[in-house]
Structure 1
């Protein structure tokens, strides 16, 4: 019996499903920060569920991250290590995880809403005959409905927040969680946990796809989710040309370029720059917003920034009220003045 057939044969009895799992993503040999963010929210859920937290590691030479995951809150770490798991193949990763689900029967399973997480999480849900909520920004336990997972995410372009539940007894309840939506768990040096090595025989897994090679992007732009400084433009910049001073200032500050959804929808800049619930969540030390009024979905994507500077002609704009420093006036005049001042102080674009 295959793993898919086995899990479909499991009766809808959830009593034997225990544990909160998190997928600890390792990308190009590096454990991603999302692992600690997922452990943080898992600890919050654990207070209501009183179930163990387990981290799942998949890849080549990933056992080196075991203690770090335990220090950050994992009670167990499942290690699925194999040379052929070095490069991510979503079909392979999904089948390996489903085999583990069949064996261990977790209750909840959280994955990052990263490129990799989004790619294979839905495959896992289908093979596991369960439900999944994508791009979650809030999670809690619904005690009135038998400790089901309330998975909350933006809907209708960020104008509504939808609460989604897996109500028919399918397990594990799954969700992909937006990076930076939750703070990382605190580290407790020397914490004890259980380490479980799971043998993986890739040769027995029938695949319909094959990894050929990895080609990194040649674009030298800074990823907005990794940037400590972001200069963002909104619909107020007036067009694609209006982003030129924003890009210049971002380069001077060695930062990244961000944008509002409205500017992206207008075709003035690509989606990879979009900040907000329908874009990407960021947490830089400095966020400069020019010509962005600040709709709810945008604010939710950047309101954890350490320092926010807003430039807008409307003093009543929501982002002007949220900002650490608000500058009322023409955005181009103020950007030019800021650029000149930085150059005077030795900054180079």
Structure 2
């Protein structure tokens, strides 16, 4: 977490505060950055991520939008094509479907269709995954759907430091970015056993965030935890579940936090799997056609002769996300720990 020149001193931040700080920094640096979405302005967003931005920058830079996801993204595409850098919020990732045509048919293809004359430098923020007992209408993890679309990037941070740096990089990027924010991590790291974070971000190293401008490169994974026994590939909330599973099993797992899901840092993944000879993939989304399938395929393609055991996959069940049974659905340390033990036994 080396600070960049001009980043300023580091202070404790939650992920919510880090995301807000990223938008604040970019709105101050670049007058073309605008922030909008449902309840984003006066109310500050349903999770208060944009709180205070309208008061600081005015209603022309941070404002509310009608309940029309297609309209929100569609106007962002137009704004981006004519020089602005919109940062729009879809209140929950589950609500992106009405905007899917604008994302897939317009934003993702604009640079190609115009032969580079126009781009869509837009960032689409979406809270995702479990954490509020919201069930199938407020808890989905749709990252795999976006990774299938050429022309867009898909990002999911696991901590405040990465969240701010990745969001700044996303806003500066000239192509559309889907920026997924795990709700369970908004207020602290999470071990998969409790409703609330195990510790607040203010007491964790990754909760120390530079106040000023800095970036975390897109397409750059991090070695979240070095290890020699088995590689765990994760992102978002599952990074912390992976750490808990490694601690509880005593297995020396190397945890790779993808950060940028697609395009992804394949070199870091390959290097880790070739070193450990074993691999477990984990994500919160449903298993069938989840992004884990792509990860397993890539590991098999590039690391087959280095593998000492079949690649394991741990994911959400192929059912609608339940409200009351969220913890039974959610991949926790027990399920992941069992996969780690299977990988080590073979």
TM-score by length of 2: 0.30
Bigger radius of gyration, 1 or 2?
Answer: 1
Bigger helix share? 2
TM-score (normalizing by structure 1):
0.30
